Amino acid sequence: MSYSNQDTRDTTLKVVVYKYWEINDTIKKIEEEHNKINGTPTTLEINLYYSKLLIRYGKKPFKTVMFEYNQKKRKTTLY
């Protein structure tokens, strides 16, 4: 899902992850692929789930990562 206005573009991704090992590498690949295809947003939130059913029933993700971009640096926050 993506929200935007004249100055910002905030993007939220819901991702089902079936292989949990090396999760940080997986997150990095998701970020890179998203930004390559869609361009770099102002913020990118990646919510990771164990299964599609958890998304359907409104359960919380097992991990959330927030990337905040500006012109000079990137800030990463883990929840």
**Which is it for the CA torsion 41, 47, 53, 55, positive or negative?**
negative
3-state secondary structure of 54: helix
The arithmetic mean of pLDDT across residues 13-37, rounded, is 94
- What average pLDDT does the chain have? 89
The runs of H, that is alpha helices, within the chain are: 23-38, 52-56
Q: What pLDDT score was predicted for residue 70?
A: 77
- Residue 3 pLDDT grade (very low, low, confident, very high; cuts 50, 70, 90): low
Distance between CA atoms of residues 56 and 37, nearest Å: 26
Of 1-10, 16-25, 39-48, 61-70, give the lowest mean pLDDT range.
1-10
Is 75 in a helix, a strand, or coil?
A: strand
Q: Is the pTM of this model over 0.95?
A: no
Relative to beta strand 63-69, strand 43-49 is antiparallel
